Amino acid sequence: MKKITLLVLVIFAGLINSIQAQYVVDFKHTADVYYNAKDYYSAAQYYNKALGTFKVKPEQILPYAIANAAPPSGKFKDYQQVVSRLAESYRLYHDFGNAETWYSQVVGFNNPQYLQAKYWYGICLRANGKFDEALKQFNEFKTNYTGADELSARVPMEIANCEFALSEANKQPRYTIAKLSGNVNEGGANYAPVVMGPNTLLFTSSRAETPPLPTKQAVEKKKDRRGTPYVNDLYTASGTGSDFSSSQKLNIPAAKGYDQGVSSVSPDGNSMYMTRWSVKDGVKQAAIYLSTKQNGTWTEPQKMGDNINMNGYNSMQPYITADGRYLLFASNRPGGMGKYDIWYCVMNSNAPGNARNMGTTINTKDEEQAPFYDAEKNVLVFSSDGRVGLGGLDFFQSEGDFGSWSTPVNMGKPLNSSKDDIYYSAMDNTHPFAEGFISSDRESVCCLEVFSIKRVRKMASGLIVDCDTHQPLAGATITLLDTVRQKTLNKITLDATGRYSFEVDPQRYYKIIAEKENYFTKSLYFKSDELTRVDSLDNPTLCLKHYEVEKPIVLNNIYYDFGKATLRPESKVVLDTVVDMLNDNPKLMIEMSAHTDSVGSDKFNQKLSQSRAQSCVDYLISRGVSSQRLIAKGYGKSRPIAPNSLPNHKDNPEGRQKNRRTEFKVLRKQMPVLTNNTNENQSSQ
């Protein structure tokens, strides 16, 4: 009896072990099915369950490559595969926190099968803002990886991204950023904000309309459409600043089996360009549609023509400019530089012309998406992962007019983060870079959210006065220029206070030009370094000197060697101020004149004064002033401004000192046009 009982127990235990073994296999098998179907969220859940069935601890799995140990087999091999798949599932689901944890184990396996894990470990570290650690992983990967593939081609960019992020760490932010409060960021992905009207925000959301699944399943990359409540559509919310609530679905027709959103509204508010897409077998199919408002209701969106939607390729993320002249969008159509490129159409009576690629200045072999264009300031903003940034998609800006573009510049922190930052939108078209909205997944495991942005105001101010009266110089024109980009940023006319004030960026080089009719223009250069610590910078007071054409202005402290035309060193300091004046007033021509007292013959004084005037002109030419703007004229003793002798005919030393002077006067405001027969030295004869 005992033997029978024991046999039954053995058989029963064997059945239990068999069932458990089958159950274990089911976990991994189910995870593999989800993984191959690109349902990475579900795959991660089942790989976690499969991992719990192994009777080994991570610290017990030693790198088999150490001491020429044999490769792992059996459960160790399965264990490593599950850990690797779990890390990849989290990464592909954009859960970089959990992915980092498991990749740190995969790289410890030291298994040639997982050589790429070090790269992806670096990606996760970078996405989590651990740039120093990520840089180490990328450098090691670059050194040891011998494959010639996309990862080996991409790793130099990732190294540059980490170095750029570290260099940005201590820079003063140009914007403040806050995640929208209210109920805009409620469930699912929320992104592509657009100001639709006063206090009304239009955005795209994948929030559930039916009782939701767990929050982490609210991903943009959809699973099988059957049974999932997460479908992207257009919503509106009301509010101001960073507080928007009363979210509700926009009353616009939707198509069964399609997501729709990422829209742009025409300047008159009666046309909406939007994206519709579907995902089949993990492949996205997207096109741009147009809906019009009729009697206050949006019509059924109609797919736009093949000039925008090329058959077999995707077009998405439309943006209509504020002046209605251009329609911009992203597409992977032929003729581009790589994956998605920025394209545009010229609008002809609200009808788009042929699509044109933005060109290699804007587009790279990687992703360029979500264009925004300020037609007034001629500035393009878009997102790209093909340029050095903080990682993922970053915002870049470029200046241009669809004929040529400047090299795109990364917009820095906090607009950009170590994750994806996309869909820039202005609060209003009057000040497109003062306030607005962006989308980012910086604070989310899986999904984009909407943030409000506001530019940090940094002010540079100063006072302009008359050099003679020291009174504020009302009516003077002040121009602010960016000296690096050689671009005029602002221009104002002073009121009675004589003060100017400009909004500027920290750590930039600027030039102030102050000018007024019949005053010498003067420039001031400054770098706004101090604005990294304060909100305002008060520049030194500038005084402008009044002049009249043909009226001499005496230059004090111009000295020559006795009886000679040789300039003394202290005289050159004074003449340097004339150089500065001429540089600030490039259209002026002047006469440099020299005078003597009455001692000596007329011939001697005339020759001496001409030589001294020429010495001044020669010095100005040596400092880069064109000889065509200068005339040297000696007047000898013919134009005294004080008596050379007293009434009793005795010598007057003070009067003779005043007469021994050097002057300049403005001859004309515009330089003459030179002909081929003009002698370059004619003006100095």
Domain CATH for 222: 2.115.10.20
One domain, residues 514 and 617? no
User: Residue 113: which residues within 8 A CB-CB, separation 6 or more?
Assistant: 80
Instruction: Answer yes or no: are the C-beta atoms of 665 and 581 closer than 8 Å.
Output: no
Residues 6+ apart with CB under 8 A from 463: 472, 498, 499, 541, 542
Report d(CA 514, CA 543) in Å as an integer. 9
Whole-Å CA distances, 223 to 218, 241, 284, 497 = 10, 35, 12, 66
Lowest mean pLDDT among 262-266, 470-474, 560-564, 666-670: 666-670
- Count of alpha carbons within 13 angstroms of residue 536, beta-carbon side: 6
pLDDT at position 341 is 97
Please tell me the distance from the alpha carbon of residue 273 to that of residue 207, in angstroms, as a whole number.
Answer: 21
User: Tell me: the pLDDT tens digits for 176-192?
Assistant: 999 999 999 988 899 99
Coil, strand or helix: which one is 201? strand
Q: Are residues 491 and 593 in the same domain?
A: no
Residue 11 sits in a domain whose CATH number is: 1.25.40.10
Do 366 and 389 reside in the same domain of the chain? yes
C-alpha 590/C-alpha 583 separation (Å) is: 12
- Report the alpha-carbon angle 311-317-318, nearest 5: 85
Q: How confident is the model at residue 424 (pLDDT cuts 50, 70, 90)?
A: very high
List for the chain the helix, strand, coil content (%; round to 5): 30, 30, 40
Report the relative pairing of strands 509-515 and 522-527 from DSSP bridges.
Answer: antiparallel
From CA 437, how far away is CA 422, in angstroms rounded? 10
| Distance, C-alpha 447 to centroid of its chain | 23
Q: What is the largest CA-CA distance in the chain?
A: 157
In 295-447, which ranges are E strands? 297-298, 302-303, 315-320, 326-331, 341-348, 351-352, 356-357, 368-374, 379-384, 394-399, 409-410, 421-426, 435-440
Distance from C-alpha of 515 to C-alpha of 543, rounded to nearest angstrom: 10
| 57 and 81 fall within a common domain | yes
The phi and psi torsions of 13 (rounded to 5 degrees) equal -65, -40
8 Å CB contact between 227 and 475: no
Mean pLDDT of 413-419: 94
Mean pLDDT to the nearest integer, 321-330:
95
What gap in Å lies between CA 329 and CA 406, rounded to an integer? 19
Burial 380-397 (b: 16+ CB within 10 A, else e): bbbbbbbbbbbbbbbbbb
Would you state the pLDDT for residue 579?
94
How many CB atoms lie under 10 A from the CB of residue 316?
A: 22
pLDDT at 20 over 80: no
Tell me how crowded residue 184 is: count the other CB atoms within 10 A of its CB.
Answer: 27
Backbone dihedral region of 559: left (phi > 0), alpha (psi from -120 to 50 degrees) or beta? beta
282 pLDDT above the threshold of 90: no
Are 384 and 369 contacting, i.e. CB atoms less than 8 angstroms apart? yes
Query: Where does a domain end: 143, 168, 193?
Result: 168
Strands 589-594 and 630-634: parallel
Residue 583 structural domain: 553-684
Residues 109 and 188 in one domain: no
Q: Are residues 15 and 83 in the same domain?
A: yes
Q: How many residues does the chain have?
A: 685
Name the band, by pLDDT with cuts 50, 70 and 90, for residue 61. Answer: low
Q: Do 370 and 429 belong together in one domain? A: yes
Structure tokens at 503: 């909004």
Asked which of 455, 471, 490 is the last residue of a domain, the reply is 455
Single residue among 544, 562, 591 that ends a domain in this structure: 544
Same structural domain, 329 and 208: yes
- Percent of the chain topping pLDDT 90: 66
Query: Domain with 603 in it: what CATH number?
Result: 3.30.1330.60
For residue 4, give every residue at least 6 positions away whose Cβ sits within 8 Å of its Cβ, in sequence order, or none.
none
Question: DSSP code of 219?
Answer: -
Q: For position 454, what pLDDT does the model report?
A: 92
Q: What CATH number should be reported for the domain holding residue 478? A: 2.60.40.1120
Sequence-separated (6 or more) residues with CB below 8 Å from residue 89? 31, 35, 40, 41, 43, 44, 47
DSSP state at residue 472: B
If one counts the domains in the chain, the total is: 4
Tell me the per-residue pLDDT of 628-683, one tens digit each, with 9 for 90 and over. 999 999 999 999 989 988 888 888 888 888 888 999 999 976 554 443 433 333 33
Does 626 lie in the same domain as 606?
yes
Q: d(Cα 59, Cα 13) in Å, to the nearest integer?
A: 30
pTM for the full predicted model:
0.73
Structure token pair of residue 468: 């003679």
Burial class (CB in 10 A: 0-12, 13-18, 19+), 194: buried
- Do the Cβ atoms of 366 and 349 come closer than 8 Å? no
- pLDDT tens string 509-555: 999 999 999 999 999 998 887 777 778 889 999 999 999 999 999 99
The predicted model gives 617-625 an average pLDDT of 95
Tokens describing residue 466: 């008359």
Q: Is 569 exposed, middle or buried (0-12, 13-18, 19+ CB in 10 A)?
A: exposed
Q: Do 228 and 350 have their domain in common?
A: yes
Residue 269 CA to residue 197 CA, distance in Å, equals 8
Same domain, 345 and 243: yes
Contacts of 347 (CB under 8 A, 6+ apart): 320, 324, 325, 326, 327, 353
Closest to 49 (Cα-Cα) out of 17, 23, 76, 68: 23
Mean predicted confidence (pLDDT) in 155-169? 94
Tens of pLDDT, residues 483-505? 887 888 899 999 999 999 998 88
243 and 389 both lie in a single domain:
yes
pLDDT of residue 56: 64
CA 94 to chain centre: 25
- What are 103's two structure tokens? 């990749």
